[in-house]
Copies of this chain bind each other. A is one copy, B any other.
Amino acid sequence: MPETPQPETYSYLGPAGTFTEVALSQVAAAAGKPWRSVNNVGEALDDVVSGRSAAAMIAIENSVEGGVSATQDALASIPHLRIIGEYLVPVNFVLVARRGTTLADVRVINAHPVAYAQCHVWLDANLPSHGHIPATSNVAAAASLFDSDHADAAIAPPGITAHHDLDVLAENIGDNPNAVTRFILVSRTTTTPAATGADKTSIIAELPDDRAGSLLEMLEQFATRGVNMSLLESRPIGDALGRYRFVIDLDGHIDEERVADALMGLRRFSPNVTFLGSYPRADGIRVKFDQRYGDAVFTEARDWLDRLKSGLE
């Protein structure tokens, strides 16, 4: 028996207390709706594809670790997904332990590998000879302290104590105080959020072949329309070494002429291009562009061409 679709449900990488949950809490529309905790990006997107959830919140990039490959590859391979929102969550960590543990007691730390890598400096200075057990998530690392005594402490998000009865042995143990993770809200809708003037457009595109200058030619599609690129990441297509697709974020919205024109140029150029959506930027910073790429300039040029072609001018 098929599951009853729950179009108002939001999936996220759980359990409660993860950074992803913090990101989801920024979504006004999700307030008061069912939230579904899942184990990984694949499950989150499965929920969206199958209709179990209206949308899924997933991490796409960390300011220290870079792009989240699993997310990028899933967006490239699963059809009909759309990004409808972007959210930023400052990333910091605490070292937690079972009640009564002191820092001097800590020999082995349970931590998600990404979190572990981001606390390298603090760990080297304060626990130079510790051991490490990898966890599947930051919250799972903390929760594991109750499941076994293999680890003495765990690296976890600051909000973990709202969910688990643990002592905080140290705060702000992340190497980079400005670390931030960028999340996206992914849906199956084909309705694009309205342009706000502070938008991003995400696409994934393959190059036509490996001739010299092919990437350059692709980037010219944007540059010649004054469209700035805020992200360019290559990901292997996977069939052979040396074949890549590119994950690209553009400044602007598909309803802006210069972006639309660049998208058409890209579509003509690339053998395989996926439009992932136009959506408001998390930072709310309005996109700046030279006025010679303004909508009116495009409209005027199209009207001029139409007049020429119809013999009116």
Contacts and interface: CB of A to CB of B under 8 A. Distances in A.
Interface of A: 61-67, 69-70, 88, 113, 117, 132, 134-136, 176, 178, 180, 182, 190-192, 208, 210, 212-213, 215-217, 219-224, 226-236, 238-242, 244, 254-255, 260, 263-265, 267-269, 275, 289, 292-293, 297-298, 300-302, 304-305, 308-309, 311-313
Contact of A61 (B135, B241, B304): B241
How many monomers of this protein are in the complex? 4
Contacts of A192: 308-309, 311
A292 B222 CA distance: 18
- 7 closest residue pairs by CB, A with B: A267-B301, A212-B228, A264-B301, A63-B241, A190-B311, A213-B223, A216-B219
For the complex, would chain A's binding face be called helix, strand, loop or mixed by DSSP majority? mixed
A212 B239 contact: no
A117 B302 contact: no
A190 B255 contact: no
Contact of A265 (B66, B224, B239): B224
Contact of A268 (B64, B263, B301): B301
A114 to B, nearest CB: 10
Given A226-B212, A232-B234, A233-B234, A240 B308 contact: no
Contacts of A300: 267-268
14 contacts: A65-B69, A66-B234, A190-B308, A192-B308, A212-B289, A215-B229, A217-B224, A224-B265, A231-B234, A254-B309, A260-B305, A267-B300, A267-B304, A267-B305
A135 B133 CA distance: 9
Contacts of A117: 70
B216 A223 contact: yes
A224 B224 contact: yes
A310 to B, nearest CB: 9
Contact of A254 (B233, B267, B302, B308): B308
B264 A63 contact: no
A268 B298 contact: yes
A165 to B, nearest CB: 25
Nearest to A208: B292
Given A61-B241, A65-B69, A66-B69, 5 more contacts: A62-B236, A67-B234, A231-B234, A231-B244, A268-B298
A157 B252 CA distance: 46
Contact of A238 (B63, B213, B267, B275): B63
B178 A240 contact: yes
A242 B210 CA distance: 27
A143 to B, nearest CB: 15
Given A234-B232, A236-B64, A227 B241 contact: no
